[in-house]
């Protein structure tokens, strides 16, 4: 997947969710994340949360490193596991 393909996919996904690129950049500047595997044969996992929730990351089992190739393969195959760490955010324009 090329950089241009990723950019198109990102824009389409944001648009489908009613979000702008600027909103994503604002949100991204407030996030921390870890990427790896919980075990040698576990799924590639992305843990993400707000920076103010960084202490919660230390309470979770440590992730083993995953290579860029493993990450790309998991993303392409739909096998990427995403875990939110800390309190769930309220999304723009959505009432909860």
pLDDT, tens digit, 9 for 90 and up, residues 11-43: 888 888 888 888 888 888 889 989 999 887 889
Q: Give 47-77 as a 3 state SS string.
A: EEEEHHHHHHHHHCCCCECCCHHHHHHHHHC
Q: What is the pLDDT of residue 35?
A: 92
The alpha-carbon radius of gyration of the chain (Å, integer) is 15
pTM over 0.75: no
Q: How confident is the model at residue 96 (pLDDT cuts 50, 70, 90)?
A: very low
Mean predicted confidence (pLDDT) in 63-69: 91
Contact 85, 57 (CB under 8 A): yes
Name 47's bridge partners.
Answer: 34, 83
* Assigned CATH for 21-84: 3.10.20.570
Looking up tokens 């996030």 gives 31
């Amino acid at each position: 997947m090329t950089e241009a393909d990723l950019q198109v996919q990102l824009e389409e996904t944001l648009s489908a969710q009613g979000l702008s690129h600027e909103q994503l950049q604002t949100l991204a500047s407030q996030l921390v994340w870890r990427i790896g595997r919980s075990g040698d044969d576990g799924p590639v996992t992305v843990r993400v949360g707000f920076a103010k929730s960084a202490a919660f990351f230390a309470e979770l089992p440590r992730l083993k490193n995953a290579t860029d190739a493993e990450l790309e393969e998991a993303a392409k195959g739909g096998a990427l596991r995403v875990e939110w760490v800390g309190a769930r955010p309220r999304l723009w324009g959505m009432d909860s």
